[in-house]
Amino acid sequence: MRVWAPVGQTPCVRVDTQRDMIHFYGCLNLTTGEQTAMKAKTMNSDTTTLFLQQIAQRYPDKPILLLWDRAKWHGGPAVKAFLAANPRIEVLKFPPGSPDLNPQEHIWKLSKTH
């Protein structure tokens, strides 16, 4: 990345460490276009499990294929235990560094814009 600064002076970029964060989990049904979202205070294994429970309840009689990025909160003991107890839910992870393959990314872009 390039920035404008006087020659020989490193620019100082200030970051507000106290800003409010809003996190969302999202799921897009590729067959119907239906979207499911959940607001969360944190992104971790426990909140991922809560979202998985919502998805499982929303589609109780259907096999589910989750296409996931490699976010660290998509793993952990709670998620692994939930997936082991729900074999109808299968996970396929995107290759590293490939947000363009994730059909949910356009939703995140829109939410950041607005």
How far apart are the C-alpha atoms of 57 and 47, rounded to whole Å? 15
Average pLDDT in the 4-19 region? 71
Residues 22-59 have pLDDT tens digits of: 788 888 888 888 888 899 988 999 999 999 999 999 99
Per residue, the 3-state secondary structure of 58-94, as one string, reads HCCCCCEEEEECCCHHHCCHHHHHHHHHCCCEEEEEC
Residue found by looking up tokens 């294929």 in the block: 65
Full-model pTM: 0.69
Residues 67-88 have pLDDT tens digits of: 888 888 888 899 999 999 999 9
How far apart are the C-alpha atoms of 71 and 26, rounded to whole Å? 13
CA angle, residues 84, 56, 83, in degrees to nearest 5:
15
Please report the domains of the chain, with CATH numbers, ordered by start residue. Answer: 23-113 (3.30.420.10)
